Amino acid sequence: MAKSEFELTWQDIEIGAAVTEPGSAAAYKTGDWKSQRPTYDFSRCLKCGICYVFCPEGCVRQNQKGHFEANPYYCKGCGICAYECPTRVIVMREEEEK
């Protein structure tokens, strides 16, 4: 995409607001409205990947150390990963908390 939707002016809008470029959800940050986010204490992490399997958004990826982590730009804050984690690595916190 040339411009993000936040930068489009009315002149940039295609006739009839048509979408001519095939898009993908990857182009849009869809996690900005979550109210809770997952936080991690990787010292207890078994690298089992259960959070990866259960994430309904498919936004959990394995990092270079082998730990699993949600991408905050796409995570909706549902808390399923925290609920399923066998060793309580993941704790959900309010967005405004550090």
List of residues contacting another protein (CB under 8 A): 5-6, 8-20, 22
| Pick 12 or 95: Cβ nearer another protein | 12
With a CB cutoff of 8 Å and minimum separation 6, the contacts of 55 are: 70, 80, 81
| Pick 20 or 43: Cβ nearer another protein | 20
Question: Cβ distance 90 to 38 under 8 Å?
Answer: yes
| Pick 13 or 53: Cβ nearer another protein | 13
Cα gap 79→51, rounded to integer Å: 10
CB of 14 to another protein, least distance (A): 7
CB of 7 to another protein, least distance (A): 10
CB of 32 to another protein, least distance (A): 11
Cα gap 98→39, rounded to integer Å: 10
